[in-house]
Amino acid sequence: MASLSHKDLLGIEQLSVEDIQLILDTAEALREVAARPVKKVPTLRGKTVVNLFFEPSTRTRSSFELAEKRLSADILNFSASTSSVTKGETLLDTAHNLEAMSPDIIVIRHQSAGAPHLLGRECRASIVNAGDGMHEHPTQALLDGLTVRTIKGRLDGLKVAIIGDVAHSRVVRSDTILFSRMGADVWVCGPPTLLPWEFEKLGARTTPHMEEAMDGADVIMMLRVQHERQNEAFFPSAREYASLYGLTRERMRSAKKGAIVMHPGPINRGVEIESEVADADYSVILNQVSNGVAARMAVLYLLSGNSGLEP
């Protein structure tokens, strides 16, 4: 018997090394379900999962939805564009209304950091953070950890370079905490205007020089340039960004032998990553997508026993 000691998955921050290992082990066991002719197990039969997405999301949402379906849960989808949020309902009112329908798990993505935490305090259902503002995106970090562990066999002692638009990325926060907690050497790199130095507090080293970050790295993780989150100009042009921080074949030539390239997607071909690099053998971007379903199944499975605990 093993279990997460938490009712909710709000961030990697709250997870211990043992928690992370348990989730990754469980995800590894669940990966086999995707290879079956009948890609469904009855484990969450009769459980209701609400997907509450206040921000547009295609891949995270469909990944969660597939994970829920493969575990036979009943699913209720709410998205900001179709729900009464647009009619002025507060988040708390939405939560209480949902709670009245007695769901077991609520998966939430929200533009404000801390929204899942608020729900976690108010609801009996287990809350899964599917991304809150620029704060955390724990299931993305878990699938990244699973992908690296599967290929490299371990996480400790690896050098992980995370490069790009660090400031606007919740993925990099969760990834930094997860990889450094698991004993990896995490380097965070980006243009100085997009690189908060506070990352050193999370256990990472920061550098504005891509060569320094990439030197000897076992894992090179490129972040998406989030045009939609940038109201001001953080760099002069996409072309200049690509020449200084884009992952090109040229740069990959000096990379450590056996290094893998990751990207949380969706990729901007030709901006942060060259097309040929994204499609090369060392790119594991599509492994990340399939591992995403397994990691989310693991989280849902492990939390499903904990809903109804005291918030």
Alpha-carbon distance of 22 to 67, in angstroms, equals: 18
Alpha-carbon distance of 266 to 261, in angstroms, equals: 14
Burial of 247-257, coded b for 16+ CB within 10 Å and e otherwise, reads: beeebbeebee
Minimum Å gap between C-beta 301 and other proteins is 6
220's enclosing H/E stretch is strand 219-222
The catalytic residues are 59-60, 87, 109, 137
Binding residue count for other proteins, defined by CB under 8 A: 31
Q: How far is CA 81 from the centre of its chain?
A: 23
Among 13, 14, 21, 25, binds other proteins (CB under 8 A): 25
Query: Given the complex with other proteins, which of 216 and 308 has the nearer CB atom?
Result: 308
Q: How many Å from the N-terminal Cα to the C-terminal Cα in the chain?
A: 22
**In 3-state terms, what secondary structure has residue 262?**
strand
Minimum Å gap between C-beta 284 and other proteins is 20
Query: Given the complex with other proteins, which of 100 and 233 has the nearer CB atom?
Result: 100
**In angstroms, how far apart are the furthest CA atoms of the chain?**
57
Using H for helix, E for strand and C for coil, what is the string for 180-228?
HHCCCEEEEECCHHHCCHHHHHHCCEEECCHHHHHCCCCEEEECCCCHH
Minimum Å gap between C-beta 50 and other proteins is 17
Among 99, 230, 306, 311, binds other proteins (CB under 8 A): 306
Q: Does 302 bind other proteins (CB under 8 A)?
A: yes
Q: Does 102 bind other proteins (CB under 8 A)?
A: no
Q: Which residues pair with 205 in a beta bridge?
A: 187
Q: Does 307 bind other proteins (CB under 8 A)?
A: yes
Q: Which residues pair with 74 in a beta bridge?
A: 48
And the tokens for 32? 């086999």
Among 3, 81, 84, 111, binds other proteins (CB under 8 A): 3
Query: Site map for other proteins, 34-73, x if CB under 8 A?
Result: --xxx-xxxxxxxx--------------------------
Minimum Å gap between C-beta 75 and other proteins is 17
79's enclosing H/E stretch is strand 74-79
* Piece of 149-157, 162-170, 268-276, 300-308 that binds other proteins (CB under 8 A): 300-308
* Piece of 22-30, 91-99, 151-159, 280-288 that binds other proteins (CB under 8 A): 22-30
* Residues in contact with other proteins by the rule CB under 8 A: 1-3, 25-26, 28-33, 36-38, 40-47, 298, 301-302, 304-309
